[in-house]
Structure 1
Amino acid sequence: MSMAPDTDQRSPVPHAADSHDLIRVHGARENNLKDVSIEIPKRRLTVFTGVSGSGKSSLVFTTIAAESQRLINETYSTFVQGFMPTPARPEVDVLDGLTSAIIVDQQRMGSDPRSTVGTATDANAMLRILFSRLGEPHIGPPGAYSFNVASVSASGGFTVDRGAEKSRTEKVSFSRTGGMCTHCEGRGSVSDIDLTQLYDDSKSLAEDPFTIPTYTGGGWVVRVITESGFFDKDKPIREYTKKERHDFLYRESTKVKINGVNLTYEGLIPKIQKSFLAKDRESMQPHIRAFVDRAVTFAECSECGGSRLSELARSSRIGKVNIADACAMEIRDLAEWARRLDEPSVAPLLAKLRHTLDSFVEIGLGYLSLDRASGTLSGGEAQRIKMIRHLGSSLTDVTYVFDEPTIGLHPHDIQRMNDLLLRLRDKGNTVLVVEHKPETIAIADHVVDLGPGAGTAGGTVCFEGTVEGLRASETVTGRHLDDRAGLKETVRKANGALEIRGATANNLRDVDVDVPLGVLCVVTGVAGSGKSSLLHGSLPAPEGVVSVDQTPIRGSRRSNPATYTGLLDPIRKAFAKVNGVKPAMFSANSEGACPTCNGAGVLYTDLAIMQSVATTCEECEGKRFEASVLEYHLGGRDISEVLAMSVAEAEEFFGSGEARTPAAHKILQRMSDVGLGYLTLGQPLTTLSGGERQRLKLAVHMADKGGVYVLDEPTTGLHLADVEQLLGLLDRLVDSGKSVIVIEHHQAVMAHADWIIDLGPGAGHDGGRIVFEGTPADLVAERSTLTGEHLAEYVGA
């Protein structure tokens, strides 16, 4: 295999004899990639670096991994392919030498309330089998221990055809014992709706009493209630009889006729449960989410104590432990319990269970419990859980693809992750890693650096070679690889504090701490030490606290930075004012949409089992707007030309002259402040990298009028060069009078802090305590915690 010398910027083309040892990519053009050609060595650890938005994910995930999975899917019959996702072939001229790709990304697990750490892995299934074999009393098969299986009993008949004999009907009875708690239906919690948040009971239906979003006086939802015939429209709700109140709140679906139209009436409570509570909270529009938070409280189920399981399922035990107890243990404790079991009849099952639980511990997730809801896991935790099923795999010569596997990891845990990546490589696999952390870049056999910038300024390969070659190169990554933020000579003094007293959320142990205001305060500690529990679960939330957490941005391919930030509203109004027409004309999702493509800019052709083909709309040429709309101009530009601008270009455009629009300019300034000046306004959100989405969310929240910002790992997805810009932004926020509280593992942010609160000393039940409070300099001098030791090494103290 031919490798580039340290001083070379590109590797030479390999000899034909070496081609089976390489993954060859020629002419890759996905997203912002500019005809990229590259050879990646197989059975090596290759790290892809570059600033956020430089094209790393487009090359690794959207090109290499996507094509591998597409080719594997094509080996199945057309019938089977009909049930599988059908990704399109990536925009690339040549892509060969591929092996089967296993993608371990940082996409969060679904927030289905029935999904837990145990159900998302094989651990729960193995425990159910174990209890069905060894549990006393014996209550049935594995389903009897599952909170997703309800108990069912039924009887009926079926016809038996006896041929020449007369057919006859035989009776059959069926029963199934499930482990689901009937009170909460296996959810572990029950919802309680505050009726005072739904309507004003001093008003009648004729007086528009509802305070529920979309329940407006003239809408069909309210008309069905008002004209159902069950109520006197002029009678105050508080004067309803017992029957009227039941019909109003709880009546089951009933057919009613209104103005000759057959419609369905349903009580308010079941209607709200179906229309609001059955949805993922994060996918709700902000005003809907605010209503749900205001009107609905979730309490632990009184019947099962939150275990989700029926009393029968909880009655069966192995020794003194039932399956609910087992799932509630920290996984490292559960692993010890499983090790003490000795039953030859289930030896293979026990061996597999122990291996799975030990993998959790090995990967740094021993502090979790199997009953932890999967929707509460961070992106880093979700990614590491996905790794578990691969650690013991006998497969070799496959390609593992990782997306920043160090996300959410304390410096103490990064070495463990590095060891796992190297172990996968040493089994004869190709390991491709998109990463920013220098500790992981350092272990690479081969480095590919993309850039030189982001967006349209990126998409080219700036360097291929060894880590030492990267360090000596003049690329952005090479120049910043050895960056170390120093401790500040002077730190700001607090001007107040948010008091936390007796905090016991999750693993916190009666914590008392004062979180200083008016400074940059960083909360540190190993993963699972209690940082999020302290800030998101225990911090007082007076008016003015703005929380920017790690929940992902949701949006369709029609969503873009302009729509997400609210920028498009003042832009549409500015166009409308200058041209004397309605603002809706300048929306590709409304009146201004191209009638041929409905404002999508492309037309999709369904090819059944094959990937739908997207072709640019010939009518609007991909501009998304009706031709007549593009005749209206602002500052010499039409609306499609404005949406094609970069943030930096638009900031200048809307800052002066005829197009001067202060409301738009303010939003654009915030986007530039967080380092997104290169993004185009109309770029689909689905094409943004993780780091770009995080910063876009921060830009939106900077408009909030809060005086306290709580940020959760804002360096997620940021290149070394971008971290410096982030520190500048945090400083500007504090200097403008804001208080900034940051959960962070990045040592540059720790070193730059005015005050550090360190939790630990370990994770889970070994954490939950304050192990240090003070300045970074004091933390380094004392070296009394894991954070202190690593920070001292980082700053060279």
Structure 2
Amino acid sequence: MGSTIKIQGARENNLKNVSLEIPKDKLIIMTGVSGSGKTSLAFDTIYAEGQRRYMESLSSYARQFLGNSEKPDVDQIDGLSPAIAIDQKTTSHNPRSTVGTVTEIYDYLRLLYARIGVPYCPEHGEPITGMTVTEMVDQVMLLAEGTKTTVLAPIALGKKGTFKDTFARLMKEGYLRVRVDGEIRLLEELEPLEKNKKHDIEVVVDRIVRRDNRSRYYDSIQTALNIGEGMAEVVTDEETLRFSSNYACNICGFTVPKLEPRLFSFNAPMGACPECKGIGTIQKVDLDLLIPNWNLSLNEGAITFYKNMTQSSNQLWQRLEAVCDHFGIDMDAPIKDLPKKQLDKILYGSQEPIQFSIYNTKGLERKYDEPIEGIVDMIERRYLETGSSWSRDWYETFLSEQECPSCHGARLNREVLAVRIGGKNIYEWTQMSVVQSIQFIDQLELTPTQRKISDLVLKEIRSRLNFLKNVGLTYLTLDRLASTLSGGESQRIRLATQIGSRLTGVMYVLDEPSIGLHQRDNDRLIETLKDMRDLGNTLIVVEHDEDTMRASDFIVDVGPGAGIHGGNIVAMGTPQEVMNNDNSITGRFLSGKEKIPVPSERRKGNGKSLQVIDATHNNLKHVNAEFPLGTLTVVTGVSGSGKSSLVTEVLTHTIQHHLGKVRTKPGQAREVKGLEEIDKLIEISQEPIGRTPRSNPATYVGVFDDIRDLYAQTKEAKLLGFTKSQFSFNVKGGRCEACQGDGIRKISMHFLPDIYVDCDVCHGKRYNEETLQVKYRDKTIADVLEMTVEEGIEFFSSISKIRHKLQTLSDVGLSYIKLGQSATTLSGGEAQRVKLASELQKKPTGKTVFILDEPTTGLHSSDVRKLIEVLQRLVDTGNTVIVIEHNLDVIKNADYIIDIGPEGGDEGGQIVAKGTPEEIVQCPQSYTGKYLKPLLEQ
């Protein structure tokens, strides 16, 4: 096999028939400005061809399930190895998926607890052991002394089958009573059970125990327990106890089933908490959502559910009036002034029957004498019972996710949580961070037998935890929901999993693994990538981080520009060779010939500030932070230090709540001062600008409205009687009805991902033939949607309103995207910049706060320079910009920095340093200052 990968004639997307040769078993960086074609080369060409060849190696039977991969537009690729892509897609949106399950560490923990776990009685705190059948019978007879007692010994619980042999055995033993699915039945009456239905079958021994007939039942109980494999539920007049030959408390009879791995799974019925079914949370009415303004009275609409309801129009309101009348509740008093007992009657019901009348819309009376259900209970009940998606969405507006009252978020039942290793149950283990878990394993005291049993399992757990540590994820806990991970975090988790596999001869393709990493953590990541390379693998990494580029073996610089101006190989070779190439903008930034300047002065702000007082959300340790208004403030710190907790959860959500967004719950802090200085908050996240193919940059920034106006004013449109709505692909009239204006059709593939194909009527143009007759400067409106932003600026150069809006997209580095590009195809960073462009068009109020979370994601240094200019422009017009960022070029341009740390997780949550960049570098405890210092000295 050759030592290089040869690509000939690659034309995927904007690639211009490029040919190149890259070395194998090396760390290769593919870089270039945003939209230059580097992802098209790395993922859409090299990886796609590797995947296609793998698919073709499978049988036709296997391919029918996996689907066929299309050949990328390339003449030939030689020297390909098996390919694995590690991209930034969020690991899972499943609420049952956690860091522990994704990394498979939780599977090893389940095995560990099943093999060496020790059950403890939750009441008495004593280790519990199994009882023999004889001991159990003695205990039952003692408990049943002088009381009516029933012994239920399970034979089959939740199993499928007819159980003919079981019944034959019971008849032979002389039993006459059996409980099947909760119903007592005589054996003679039993018909064959449905084979494919699960059943619960138990032997029933019923009797009254007296001293003179003790021996009469002894043998029958013993036989029942033997048939039930040492398991029984004993029901006396006074209590119900469970007995087990596995584990049972000698004092109270608390039992734990046989320890096996599935018992410790919150996804299995035998292990999951019965109330939340293993989710850890339940949907409950949130009083802050139900009653957003406690100063209002019931008649003024304090309870939003009753808003706009009157006696003549709604029977629910009449029931509320009946409760208030019966209990003497003043409906005109502010709800905050009502006594708790009265408020509870409204919220949780009357309990006792009430006599009241209900009048329908025709005035007919119907009398009732019954308890009236409280509003809280009614919403929660109807939410679960309704079959209407509209109603369900409506009830959901009053609900929030709350910790399960039974398991308190542990997801597991009481019996599972009774099993411990080193004093911790499996849930308490998953609550520890990666670093804490490693320390816990190192300090674990086990018996020689336990050590021998667990040695291999502990070794595997420690190994996987160390991989997570090495990719900068020391702060993550194993119970962290996978859906809450950022793209960079989920990518590094998959990277850690791949390291654990220790494969060789593989080609890994990665998409910006440095996203979300502080420079300190990035150094660890680079070492990890080198380790994977040294195992004998080829790593192709799409990346903009300069440190990663300098540490690489080979760089491919794609460009020189974006979109139609890109798609060529500008430079390639070792980092030094690329630095020596003046045609490469990447090389010029790497060599220092081109750089982002440090501002000549730092703004002091307008003298006012937002002040967070005593923030304790997540890992924040009583943080007091000040955000000066009228400045560019950057919040930074190592991964997991608490930046998002402070800025997003506490500050942003508090401002949103203050501005009337009542469904947003602020993070924990005593107070946020200065809110009166804010009249508008713009949070520019990396969430998609839309979740359907119809959403696109042109519609989001509002320029498409102006373009439709323009087309409606043309002579052809007026002759045909077309209005502005004719040129909308969202409503009937001008759109193609075959695809309803999508331009594509979705083909459901059931258990495979949905496939999108061009509409075979409009061929992706979205409009019908009549609409496409109308042209402006010889272009249809469908042609306009196919234009890039840059082409649009030139095409509409004479229409200032349109040109201005398109220019804002260009200003944020998006000149290469198409006006009609589907929102679902935009990266998180691109979506964020579209939102930024939309806000740039609006007139500043002087009291607006912009909050951005890592806006440099996916940006080349030249694009970062443009972004910084845009952010500075926003501040120059009187706004306040607060940015969570690790990029040193953005940090050095800040007026004010808040550095959080010193580490991630429990070891973070404190302000390490604050002030101007020049003041931060003077703080020896600041990792940010350490990496920032050389840039300021330059």
* TM surpasses 0.5: yes
Contact 1:500/1:513 (8 A) holds in 2? yes
Of 591, 616, 624, 2:766 maps to: 624
Deviation of 1:568 after TM superposition, in Å, equals 2.8
Greater mean deviation of Cα atoms: 730-739 or 556-565: 556-565
Contact 2:688/2:826 (8 A) holds in 1? no
Of 457, 470, 476, 1:349 maps to: 457
Contact 2:687/2:832 (8 A) holds in 1? no
Partner of 1:675: 813
- The alignment status of 1:81 with 2:63, answered yes or no, reads yes
Partner of 1:492: 603
**For residues 483-632 of structure 1, what are the structure 2 equivalents within 5 Å?**
483-495=594-606, 496-539=608-651, 540-541=654-655, 542-543=658-659, 544-576=680-712, 578=714, 579=717, 580-591=721-732, 592-594=734-736, 599=741, 601=743, 620=762, 622-632=764-774
Change (3 A) 1:388 1:232: farther
Change (3 A) 1:153 1:668: farther
- The alignment status of 1:776 with 2:914, answered yes or no, reads no
Contact 2:55/2:69 (8 A) holds in 1? no
**For residues 114-125 of structure 1, what are the structure 2 equivalents within 5 Å?**
114-125=96-107
**For residues 442-461 of structure 1, what are the structure 2 equivalents within 5 Å?**
442-461=550-569
Greater mean deviation of Cα atoms: 698-707 or 379-388: 698-707
- Separation in 1, partners of 2:387, 2:443: 48
Contact 1:204/1:236 (8 A) holds in 2? no
Change (3 A) 1:276 1:725: farther
- Separation in 2, partners of 1:269, 1:703: 44
Deviation of 1:500 after TM superposition, in Å, equals 0.4
Can you list the C-alpha shifts for 1:306-334, whole angstroms capped at 9, x where unaligned?
Answer: 22222222121113101111011112111
Change (3 A) 1:245 1:379: same
Of 785, 790, 793, 1:648 maps to: 790
Greater mean deviation of Cα atoms: 82-91 or 616-625: 616-625
Change (3 A) 1:413 1:781: same
Q: Secondary structure at the match of 2:162?
A: strand
Contact 2:687/2:828 (8 A) holds in 1? no
Change (3 A) 1:156 1:78: closer
- The alignment status of 1:765 with 2:916, answered yes or no, reads no
Q: CA RMSD in A?
A: 3.7
Contact 2:902/2:912 (8 A) holds in 1? yes
Rg larger in structure: 2
Contact 1:203/1:236 (8 A) holds in 2? no
One-letter identity of the residue aligned with 2:435: R
- The alignment status of 1:183 with 2:206, answered yes or no, reads no
Greater mean deviation of Cα atoms: 92-101 or 764-773: 92-101
Change (3 A) 1:753 1:621: same
- Separation in 2, partners of 1:169, 1:484: 82
Contact 2:315/2:360 (8 A) holds in 1? no
- Separation in 1, partners of 2:892, 2:409: 41
Q: Secondary structure at the match of 1:538?
A: helix
Partner of 1:100: 82
Of 776, 789, 797, 2:930 maps to: 789
- For structure 2, the 5+ residue unaligned runs are 122-155, 167-189, 203-267, 291-302, 318-357, 660-679
Can you list the C-alpha shifts for 1:328-374, whole angstroms capped at 9, x where unaligned?
Answer: 11121112212334421122111111111121222221111111111
Contact 2:120/2:418 (8 A) holds in 1? no
Q: Secondary structure at the match of 2:65?
A: coil
- Separation in 1, partners of 2:752, 2:923: 62
Contact 2:282/2:402 (8 A) holds in 1? yes
Deviation of 1:656 after TM superposition, in Å, equals 3.7
Contact 1:117/1:370 (8 A) holds in 2? yes
Change (3 A) 1:155 1:66: closer
Change (3 A) 1:613 1:520: closer
Can you list the C-alpha shifts for 1:762-784, whole angstroms capped at 9, x where unaligned?
Answer: 11111110111111111223444
Can you list the C-alpha shifts for 1:595-624, whole angstroms capped at 9, x where unaligned?
Answer: 566545567999999999988667545433
- Separation in 2, partners of 1:24, 1:553: 38
Can you list the C-alpha shifts for 1:480-537, whole angstroms capped at 9, x where unaligned?
Answer: 2234445433211122111101101111100011111100111111111111111011
Greater mean deviation of Cα atoms: 111-120 or 477-486: 477-486
- The alignment status of 1:714 with 2:855, answered yes or no, reads yes
Deviation of 1:428 after TM superposition, in Å, equals 1.0
Partner of 1:323: 426
- The alignment status of 1:334 with 2:445, answered yes or no, reads no
- Separation in 1, partners of 2:889, 2:538: 31
Partner of 2:498: 390
**For residues 94-493 of structure 1, what are the structure 2 equivalents within 5 Å?**
94-137=76-119, 153-154=157-158, 158=162, 169=192, 173=200, 178-193=270-285, 194-195=289-290, 196-200=303-307, 202-203=309-310, 232-233=360-361, 267=382, 270-271=385-386, 295-341=398-444, 342=446, 343-473=451-581, 474-481=583-590, 482=592, 483-493=594-604
Greater mean deviation of Cα atoms: 300-309 or 568-577: 568-577
Greater mean deviation of Cα atoms: 643-652 or 449-458: 643-652
One-letter identity of the residue aligned with 1:186: G
Deviation of 1:653 after TM superposition, in Å, equals 4.8
Of 714, 728, 733, 2:869 maps to: 728
Change (3 A) 1:317 1:34: same
- Separation in 1, partners of 2:752, 2:613: 59
- Separation in 2, partners of 1:119, 1:608: 25
Partner of 1:66: 48
- Separation in 2, partners of 1:457, 1:245: 67
- Separation in 2, partners of 1:108, 1:233: 52
Question: Percent of pairs identical after alignment?
Answer: 39
Deviation of 1:110 after TM superposition, in Å, equals 2.4
- Separation in 1, partners of 2:51, 2:549: 26
One-letter identity of the residue aligned with 1:61: F
- Separation in 1, partners of 2:745, 2:271: 48
Deviation of 1:72 after TM superposition, in Å, equals 1.6
Can you list the C-alpha shifts for 1:727-767, whole angstroms capped at 9, x where unaligned?
Answer: 10011000011100111111111111111111111111111
Deviation of 1:55 after TM superposition, in Å, equals 0.7
Aligned residues: 715
Change (3 A) 1:324 1:615: closer
Greater mean deviation of Cα atoms: 574-583 or 513-522: 574-583
- For structure 1, the 5+ residue unaligned runs are 1-18, 140-151, 211-229, 253-265, 279-287
Change (3 A) 1:778 1:616: closer
Deviation of 1:48 after TM superposition, in Å, equals 0.4
- Separation in 1, partners of 2:372, 2:359: 7
- Separation in 2, partners of 1:338, 1:25: 48
Can you list the C-alpha shifts for 1:58-88, whole angstroms capped at 9, x where unaligned?
Answer: 1111111122122223333333333325432
Greater mean deviation of Cα atoms: 564-573 or 460-469: 564-573
Can you list the C-alpha shifts for 1:120-147, whole angstroms capped at 9, x where unaligned?
Answer: 11011111111122222289xxxxxxxx
- The alignment status of 1:685 with 2:788, answered yes or no, reads no
Q: Secondary structure at the match of 2:775?
A: coil
- Separation in 2, partners of 1:629, 1:241: 64
One-letter identity of the residue aligned with 2:42: V
Partner of 1:57: 39
